[in-house]
Structure 1
Amino acid sequence: MALLGSRAELEADEDVFEDALETISISSHSDMATSSLHFASCDTQQAPRQRGASTVSSSSSTKVDLKSGLEECAVALNLFLSNKFTDALELLRPWAKESMYHALGYSTIVVLQAVLTFEQQDIQNGISAMKDALQTCQKYRKKYTVVESFSSLLSRGSLEQLSEEEMHAEICYAECLLQKAALTFVQRMSFYPA
């Protein structure tokens, strides 16, 4: 009897899980469409993006606002976690040189691929993507004069001096440096296998 009761409970739990899975996949598709529409409204100087397009020309005068960048990167993260790696990369690639979060997301996926495969070509692609991401993040970081740099070594810098975008850039830059260090370690280990 107890076995039948638990079997019935398991079947009920499976039904609830399947219903929840359908709800999640439906809402993620609608979130992705909403985010793409919201993001596309910021894209006034670019050609319309097409799903699966490998390259989109970007203008250096085009700038992605922080909120739109975060929203689109959240969509890419959902695609990545749903094993849609190519779709995630294609979503991030066009803006990887313009938006710090797109650069961080794109380079993170490429670095993860390098770490998981240990292939020299993947490692080189990861290093290249990480260098590009560092350059993109550097564009948004606060520019210090020599005197300001020296004085910041002597005294603690204040966060009030940074804008919201500059704070995000510092975080993204630090994350890129951490991933670059990990990738360098993987590169060294791939040359000296155990």
Structure 2
Amino acid sequence: MQSSITNTAKRYGWAMIVLHWLIGAIFIGQFVLGFVMMRIESQRTAFELIQLHKSLGFLLLGLIILRVAWRLGNQAPALPPSVGALERRTAPLAHFALYAFQVALPLSGWALVSVSTLEIPTMPFNLFVMPDLPLAESDAAESFWTAAHWYLAYAGIALVVLHIAAALRHHFWLRDSVLMRMITPSSDQE
């Protein structure tokens, strides 16, 4: 039995599994990195961490766009019979919210660096200069986007915690296949 890159009616394929866990790790790591970089005393280290945070933010944005595109082109596995009617209606909304926050958060960071009066160029992984968004620079705009980025980060991490809790509930309490289908890929025989 050979694993499949695409989803089947019962399980996710390798592409979605890899994107899911990679995006999840970067998203959680970005939250931790953002928390640390704003509280570190060394300005040099803080600057380097901010540059890493921006680089990972652009990587996250690219990966989530790829994931959404892949999701639109591939069926999602059906939920097991143990999932109730209310959860069947709310699960797609929760996933949409996760996608929306994972797109909005890096975009708000990009907007933040674009309006900054410091005019520090953004160079993802020191490979190229990322152009700023066409937004006017000002202290007021920087304050707005700083607050937006902060609120989106905390709301996004709350959604991730809810997502993890739901997956663990399915695995340990309901004992269904919801979590395992995002760990074990589909096969060509399914």
TM-score, with structure 1 as normaliser: 0.33
Higher helix share: 1
TM-score, with structure 2 as normaliser: 0.34
Greater CA radius of gyration, 1 or 2?
1
